[in-house]
Each structure stands twice: as C-alpha cells, then as structure tokens.
Structure 1
Amino acid sequence: MAPRTVWTFNFTGWILFTVSAIAFTWTTWTAGDTVGLIASLAFLIACICFIVPVWIHRPSKTED
C-alpha cells in the first residue's frame, strides 16, 4: 500500500476512536458517573495525543 493510503487508514481509525471517546464522555456526563467521566476524559485526551503526531507526520498527497 502507498504511504498515503496507510496514513489515511490510521488517521480514520484514530478519528473513530475519538468520536467514540466523545460519545463515552457524553453518556457518562448525562448519567452522572464521576469515575466513568474521568475515565472517558482520559480516553479522549489519549486519543488526541495519538492523533497529533499522526497528523503532523502525514505524507504528501503526491507521495506514492
């Protein structure tokens, strides 16, 4: 696979993880679950920490 394709799959996966972390945060917030909220926020922060280097080191669109 081309580097750009591999990057797209990785980035899409991290976006989906981030969306699930946001949903997890929302449900624990509405349920009033403090421990779950702390865990979901940690999950969300971790997802963002993993997305940043993936985005910064993305291959150029012309790279094969």
Structure 2
Amino acid sequence: MMSRHLADHRSPPRGTRAKEFLRIEREELGRLWQQLFRRPVPVPVTGRRTAEFCRIDRGRSA
C-alpha cells in the first residue's frame, strides 16, 4: 500500500490567515479615520463675507 506524499498531509486550518486579514483591515481603517479627522473643516463663505471682501477690494473702509 502506498502512503500519501508529504505535501498531501495538510494540517487542519487554525484561522491564521483570517486573523491576519482582519488585522490588516483594522489598521487600514484606523488610518482612514485619522485622515478624515485631520482634514480641515471648510468654512462656508456667506453672502455677507463676500460683500465685505468686495468692499475691502474696492478700497472702501466703511
């Protein structure tokens, strides 16, 4: 009787690949959230601010 080849004897899976995959995904997700929190918040330019900028640009002080 012939026995199996050495490469055909597989050990039962231990979930190591899944654990590593999840670890990498968590690290990348953490980096994504850090980038989102560090992004500067845009200040909306209202009509009043635009009018003031135009007034200053024309050289009027009041």
Q: Judging by fraction of residues, say which structure has more helix.
A: 1
TM (norm. structure 2) is 0.42
- Greater RCO (CA < 8 Å, at least 6 residues apart): 1
Q: TM-score, normalised by structure 1?
A: 0.40
**Higher alpha-carbon Rg:** 2
